Chains A and B, each alone.
Chain A
Amino acid sequence: MAELRDYKCPACSGALEFDPATQKMQCPYCGSSFDIAQLQDASQDGADWQSESSENWGDDETVNVFHCESCGGEIVGDDTTAASSCPYCGNPVTMTGRLSGAFRPEFVLPFKLEKKAAQDKLKVYLKKKKFAPSSFLRENRIQEIRGLYVPVWLYDSDIHADAVFEATRKRTWTQGDVEYTETSYYDVYRSGDMSFAGIPVDGSTKMPQDLLESVEPFDSAQAVPFQTAYLAGYLADKYDISMEQGAQRANERIDISAGDALRGTVKGFDNVDLRSKQVRMLRGVAKYVLYPVWLLNTVYRGETYTFAMNGQSGKFIGNVPVDGGKLAGLFGAVTVGAGAVLFALGKLLGMI
């Protein structure tokens, strides 16, 4: 059973939003700001809203409809929507029932950067993409940026790893007019323990894993105990990828890093190749956390392009379509230019 919670300004009853700059709840109507801890106590008497209905829109898609406390408008969310806003009045709401029990995050990494920062980053990012289609660059999509708290599993792990490397050492000397190269081959064994902390794995199927990993790293040390107030004004999802499913991805990354770490201890050789490796987990702990990401989805010629900005560090990334005509122009220009330079060099060096 889902419940809706919005945060009202004690001064004017306006809908409060989380302000990344001050890390407080801000009233956009009267300008008042409140500490989140204070607000939690004051808002206990806020009305709880229940999911009114569940309707099936398709075979696999479940839709939940909530009524906005402010205007009575319908707020539609799917099974994983945990925070949203009213499409009619903009009132930010949190489905607290979606964030309770096993779905209650332990920590939340609050947004540090505001929407304006994301807008500016997008402008700068696209400005550098000279070979993107002009129509794509011209269209103004920056208003569509939205802040999303992505459910993330953070894995801490202590492991033991064994690895075998083939290493070579070379020695070269000259005798008369013959150069000799002696290559010595060694089997190198390394075993060791190591610890990883805070490896993030996307807990939502809605958020592409590669996109989240592309805006890493997040500083999980700045995470704070979860409070729904941090979600006010943002979208949020609950996880739909289990801890066990996410662990597979974490283990993939740990496996490679363990090999890299052991390889780093093999010194004094000219070449080191990994031949075999075994990684065993000694201890593993997972935490459920919400990570802040600014997202922009846009469709261009039937293909969806998603941009993401780390809401903490500001790292911005996203695939951009490429204009075939502009690339063809680049190809022609480089062909002729490089050809001319090569020709001139050939003449100067007497090769032509």
Chain B
Amino acid sequence: MKKRVIILVTAVLLFGVLAVPVGAVAYGRGTTIDHAGAPETISVLYNEIYDQYGVDAFFVTALDFSGEGSAREYANVCIGNLSSEPDRIVFVHTLDDNYILPEGKCKDIFTDDVLNLTYYACAQYITAEDYGMAATAFFAHVRMNLGRALTPEQYSEVSVVARTTETETETQTQAPELVEEVNSDSVEMTTAQNPVVISPAPTVQKQSIAKPILICLALGAVIALITVLAVRGSYKPVHRKTNANEYLIRDSLNITNATESFVRKETTERKLNNDSSKN
């Protein structure tokens, strides 16, 4: 009994060690993606942006582009297979620079001025390396500008968390200086110059992980069943011999007749997949 408990606990721990950390890098919509060691913060506000305006928003922190040529390429690597929305806005923060990448309808809404203001809303937290607050401010600002552009009459009704409001106030009052600061810091405010194809993404992070886990467990159960049956079979090795091959006297076989006659021929065709056409 004790052994069984140990086996089960070991198996569960093994699964936890292998599966959970891998699952943690599966990002959902509106996630703060952290590749720089900063704490990860996820706010309900992120999902509200998509729910209200149909825009995906991401906040990505990273040490560098990890070999990618640009912030856009890096962003596509990070979240490219997560969001199929043509309308998205991505904040990429590296140790060297900051980038805000609007796509789709966000390109029209987030003009250079708006981008500068949006950056300023986050700048103080980035300077303080408080990336959680920076992300919160970014999303609040995105939401505010989307609300203003898409439903102007309702803009006044959009409730913004108090912290965001404070940030926004500071943004408004200090905007001119901030533009200079942004320029002096060589912050690149990128607009979507090149269209990017974004693959479909799961809607909720928990669902995206739970389903594969269940599928993997089901496959694991099949493997386990085969293993158990094999083990069980090995415990019943007693069986009748099917032949007497080992009692056939060597070289006693004397073939007296050997003929082979052709009967028919069949030809089948299979169209090959042209790999170049895929590309």
| Chain A residues in the interface with B (C-beta under 8 A) | 129, 131-132, 160, 162, 167, 174, 177-199, 208-211, 213-214, 216-217, 250, 253-254, 256-257, 260-262, 265, 317-322, 325-344, 346-348, 350, 352
Contacts and interface: CB of A to CB of B under 8 A. Distances in A.
Contacts of B11: 332-337
Given A181-B267, A184-B265, A333 B18 contact: no
A340 B19 contact: yes
Interface of B: 1, 3-4, 7-8, 10-12, 14-15, 17-19, 22-23, 25-26, 81, 212-213, 216-217, 219-221, 223-225, 227-228, 231-232, 235-249, 252-272, 274
Contacts of B267: 180-183
Contacts of A131: 231, 235
B239 to A, nearest CB: 6
Contacts of B18: 340-341, 343-344
A265 B258 contact: yes
B270 A185 contact: no
Contact of A195 (B219, B223, B248, B265): B248
Contacts of B231: 131, 322, 327, 330
A332 B23 CA distance: 21
A136 to B, nearest CB: 11
Contacts of B4: 325-326, 328-329
Contact of A339 (B15, B81, B243): B15
User: In the complex, which of the residues A132, A192, A339 has the most CB atoms of chain B within 10 Å of its own CB atom?
Assistant: A339
6 contacts: A317-B237, A322-B235, A327-B231, A339-B216, A340-B19, A352-B212
A331 B228 contact: yes
Contact of B248 (A177, A178, A194, A338): A194
B258 A257 contact: no
B237 to A, nearest CB: 5
A209 B270 contact: no
B272 A185 contact: no
A254 B242 CA distance: 9
Nearest to B258: A190
B269 A179 contact: yes
A352 B216 CA distance: 10
A208 B221 CA distance: 36
A343 B253 contact: no
B265 A342 contact: no
A350 B7 contact: no
A332 B260 CA distance: 54
A342 B220 contact: yes
Contacts of B247: 196-199, 217, 253, 257
